[in-house]
Amino acid sequence: MEYFLITFQSTHQYMKAEKILKDLNYDCTLLHIPSEISADCGLGLKFSSSLDHNKLKKIIIPTGINFDGIYYIKNKENEKNIEKVG
């Protein structure tokens, strides 16, 4: 399984981002942040790995939403690879 995860500085920021992205018809899912990633909020938005993470940044940054990072996560067998991409 491969996906992108956006982490936020607060629950308020997460909720604001979720509304904006769902209004734009992006398929995102609430996800608890994996223990390998430290985030203030503890919640993030999960997106398909087929979505361009640069496009997500271009949508979120102009809104003033504070996010901690965008991560590419790949689970393969018993191994989890996490790469910060934004």
pLDDT tens digits for range 70-83 = 999 998 888 889 98
pLDDT tens digits for range 16-43 = 999 998 898 888 898 888 888 875 668 8
Domain boundaries along the sequence of the chain? 2-84
pLDDT for residue 66? 87
Rounded distance between C-alpha atoms, residue 76 and residue 74, angstroms: 6
Rounded distance between C-alpha atoms, residue 1 and residue 21, angstroms: 22
CB atoms within 10 A of CB 9: 14
CATH number of the structural domain 2-84:
3.30.70.790
